[in-house]
């Protein structure tokens, strides 16, 4: 999917919502545990009730790996289900990978080819040759960790190098890499005040914004400081939507929570 | 396994060699492709001929994930085979993970509990709360990316913050985290000249040193600048050993390459 197509979907659905599919068997409704594949059953129900309200789904790969082969099968079924039934939806493997060149190439192959995700999140610490293997896939997107939503972001990401925060260096240097047009950036919603500075460095790129909801980020600030002329935002909510209820009506409860966010976004998109 | 036990194994086997199990189906001997599980068949043959020459095995998780469920099964069989037949060997999941707290906890559970690895490699970019969930597992070790062996290490890791290289900040800040005694550090063999400075900051920690062999690092320099009073080194070789031959005698060829390195290490350990 191209970023142009993504913007079209946003305008059509009046939503820039991404739903995080972070399935924890301790948190899903207990009746699903009788299912042969509870993780997929949960995801399918969420997707069926929310696909018209969001433009992206983001499975967090850790939650699948934690269940070994069973989890990996559920991930495969989930991405196939989205691709087959809702090919217009942008898919994000939230994997935060990054390794030396030949290894990053293996990860890119796993997520872009075998699983057929549209994008993957990648950590910048190992630099250019750890990210470029992902960027070389045409029609796929690499979402670089930039300024994250967790408290530990303060440990390294905001430290100053030559008057600039480290995360700003990450943005600037990443623009020099081959196929940098395939880059997007992760910026936590809890860091909304930094979005203006980020927009000066990467005015045209899409930003993936986690941290609205459970982590305390504010959607209005994200919109105010983060949007660009093509919208350029994907705002993610995970726990706030998928765990809205632990009863049998969980998928309807998730729909209502997604609808709330979609309606706020619809108002913003009018301006 | 404790670091004391690891040092005992090093002195007993006269080796601080770690063998990287980075299995690429395009590179393994063709006759193995007929096997029901070629990845495990390859690993088993390598383990059977080299286990007395090394103290650690390091499967690079990307190479398994690239083959989906088949790869994940092969990884599970490989770690189980090592743990059952050679419980004295230190195992490293080279996964380079790192995410917000609740997600890092899921990764820690996957690699430390379900797969029962002794250790995992973790990226520092997201800071304290992304690493501490790994550190909280007693008897397990978290190996933090510090100064890597690839060219992209120059992009961010050596940039100066307050007169100090960024990787030195990573070392110093990581020492303040809870259970920091469970930390080890990745330092590429191609960065041997920085090992003296690293030893000033973390005199007692184990260092995992990739990059000897295919990537051009020098074992003598690593020993000279990197060792401490408990040896404190695990030197990894992957491609140089496991792909020494692509014939049917590949496992014997791997043994000879491992033996070469082990003998150099034996000489060093005498000094």
What does the domain layout of chain A look like in residue ranges?
Answer: 3-266
Write the pLDDT tens digit of every residue in A166-184: 999 999 999 999 999 999 9
Which candidate, A130, A216, A18, A77, places its Cα nearest to that of B156? Answer: A130
Task: Average the pLDDT over A220-225 and give the result.
Answer: 94
Q: Please, are residues A59 and A242 in contact by the beta-carbon 8 Å criterion?
A: no
Length, in residues, of chain A: 271
Task: Average the pLDDT over B80-89 and give the result.
Answer: 98
Cβ separation of B151 and A128 shorter than 8 Å?
yes
Using a CB-CB distance cutoff of 8 angstroms, which residues of chain A are in contact with residue B96?
97-99, 123
Which class for B153: exposed (0-12), middle (13-18), buried (19 or more C-beta within 10 A)? buried
Q: Band the pLDDT of B211: cuts 50, 70, 90.
A: confident
Selecting from A101, A150, A154 the residue whose C-beta is nearest the C-beta of B100 gives A150
Tokens standing for residue B157:
């890791």
CA separation for the pair B234, B66 (Å, rounded):
26
Q: Does A25 touch chain B (CB under 8 A)?
A: no
Percent over 90 (pLDDT), chain B: 91
Using the predicted structure, report yes or no on whether residue B81 has a pLDDT greater than 70: yes
Cβ separation of B155 and A98 shorter than 8 Å?
no
Q: Does B14 touch chain A (CB under 8 A)?
A: no
Write the pLDDT tens digit of every residue in A105-146: 999 999 999 999 999 999 999 999 999 999 999 999 999 999
CA separation for the pair A166, A119 (Å, rounded):
24
Q: Does A185 touch chain B (CB under 8 A)?
A: no
Using the predicted structure, report yes or no on whether residue B213 has a pLDDT greater than 80: no
Which residue is closest to A152 within chain B, CA to CA?
B127
Give the model's pLDDT for residue B111: 96
Length, in residues, of chain B: 271
Least Cα separation, residue B261 to chain A (angstroms): 23
Q: Does A107 touch chain B (CB under 8 A)?
A: yes
Write the pLDDT tens digit of every residue in B224-267: 999 999 999 999 999 999 999 999 999 999 999 999 999 999 99
Cβ separation of A123 and B127 shorter than 8 Å?
no
Give the model's pLDDT for residue B217: 77
| A60 DSSP β-pair partners | A94
Chosen from A142, A150, A161, A238 to mutate, greatest number of chain B CBs within 10 A: A150
Residues with Cβ within 8 Å of B204's Cβ and at least 6 positions away in sequence, in order, are B228, B230, B232
Q: Does A126 touch chain B (CB under 8 A)?
A: yes
Cβ separation of A150 and B159 shorter than 8 Å?
no
Cβ separation of B155 and A166 shorter than 8 Å?
no
Using a CB-CB distance cutoff of 8 angstroms, which residues of chain A are in contact with residue B151?
127-129
Tokens standing for residue B215:
């990537």
- Pairs of residues, one from chain A and one from chain B, whose beta carbons lie less than 8 Å apart: 172
Give the model's pLDDT for residue A161: 80
Tokens standing for residue A162:
């030559």
Using a CB-CB distance cutoff of 8 angstroms, which residues of chain B are in contact with residue A170?
156
CATH T-level fold of B3-270? TIM Barrel (3.20.20)
Task: Average the pLDDT over B183-206 and give the result.
Answer: 93
Give the model's pLDDT for residue B163: 83
Using a CB-CB distance cutoff of 8 angstroms, which residues of chain A are in contact with residue B128?
151-152, 155
CA separation for the pair A246, A253 (Å, rounded):
9
Beta carbons within 10 angstroms of residue A68's beta carbon? 17
Using a CB-CB distance cutoff of 8 angstroms, which residues of chain B are in contact with residue A214?
none
Q: Band the pLDDT of B203: cuts 50, 70, 90.
A: very high
| Catalytic residue IDs of B | 96
Write the pLDDT tens digit of every residue in A36-79: 999 999 999 999 999 999 999 999 999 999 998 999 999 999 99
Tokens standing for residue B19:
């063998």
Write the pLDDT tens digit of every residue in B8-38: 999 999 999 999 999 999 999 999 999 999 9
Q: Which of A16-20, A52-56, B2-6, B155-159 has the lowest mean pLDDT?
A: B155-159
Cβ separation of B123 and A161 shorter than 8 Å?
no
Q: Band the pLDDT of B214: cuts 50, 70, 90.
A: low
Which candidate, B249, B247, B252, places its Cα nearest to that of B30? Answer: B247
Instruction: Identify the CATH homologous superfamily for domain A3-266.
Output: Aldolase class I (3.20.20.70)
pLDDT: is A257 or A213 the higher one?
A: A257
Cβ separation of B159 and A169 shorter than 8 Å?
yes
Most confident of A100-104, B98-102, B167-171: B167-171
Q: Does A103 touch chain B (CB under 8 A)?
A: yes
Cα A180 to Cα A131, A148, A185, A205, distances in angstroms = 10, 20, 11, 10
Residues with Cβ within 8 Å of A230's Cβ and at least 6 positions away in sequence, in order, are A3, A4, A7, A204
Using a CB-CB distance cutoff of 8 angstroms, which residues of chain A are in contact with residue B66?
106-107, 109-110, 114
CA separation for the pair B245, A35 (Å, rounded):
47
Using the predicted structure, report yes or no on whether residue A80 has a pLDDT greater than 70: yes
Cβ separation of A69 and B65 shorter than 8 Å?
no
Give the model's pLDDT for residue A270: 95
Cβ separation of B69 and A66 shorter than 8 Å?
no
Give the model's pLDDT for residue A214: 65
| Catalytic residue IDs of A | 96
Which residue is closest to B144 within chain A, CA to CA?
A125
Using the predicted structure, report yes or no on whether residue A215 has a pLDDT greater than 80: no
Which candidate, B156, B110, B255, B253, places its Cα nearest to that of A128? Answer: B156
Average pLDDT, chain B: 95
Cβ separation of B98 and A96 shorter than 8 Å?
yes
């Amino acid at each position: 999917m191209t970023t142009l197509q993504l913007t079209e979907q946003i305008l059509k659905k009046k939503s820039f919502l991404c739903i995080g599919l972070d399935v924890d068997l301790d948190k899903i409704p207990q009746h699903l545990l009788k299912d042969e594949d509870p993780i997929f059953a949960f995801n399918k129900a969420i997707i069926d009730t929310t696909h018209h309200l969001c433009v992206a789904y983001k499975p967090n790969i850790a939650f699948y790996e934690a269940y070994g082969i069973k989890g990996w099968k559920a991930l495969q079924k989930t991405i196939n289900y989205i691709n087959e039934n809702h090919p217009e939806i942008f898919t994000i493997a939230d994997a935060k990978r990054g390794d030396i060149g030949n290894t990053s190439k293996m990860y890119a192959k796993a997520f872009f080819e075998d699983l057929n995700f549209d994008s993957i999140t990648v950590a910048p610490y190992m630099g250019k040759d750890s990210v470029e293997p992902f960027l070389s896939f045409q029609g796929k997107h690499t979402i670089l960790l930039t300024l994250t939503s967790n408290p530990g972001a303060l440990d390294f990401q905001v430290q100053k190098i030559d008057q600039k925060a480290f995360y700003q260096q990450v943005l600037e240097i990443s623009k020099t890499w081959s196929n940098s047009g395939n880059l997007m950036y992760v910026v936590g919603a809890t860091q909304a005040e930094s979005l203006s500075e980020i927009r000066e460095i990467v005015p045209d790129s899409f930003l993936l914004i986690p941290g609205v909801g459970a982590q305390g980020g504010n959607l209005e600030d994200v919109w105010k400081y983060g949007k660009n002329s093509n919208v350029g935002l994907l705002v993610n909510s995970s726990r706030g939507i998928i765990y809205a209820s632990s009863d049998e009506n969980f998928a309807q409860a998730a729909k209502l929570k997604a609808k709330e966010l979609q309606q706020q976004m619809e108002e913003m998109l009018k301006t």
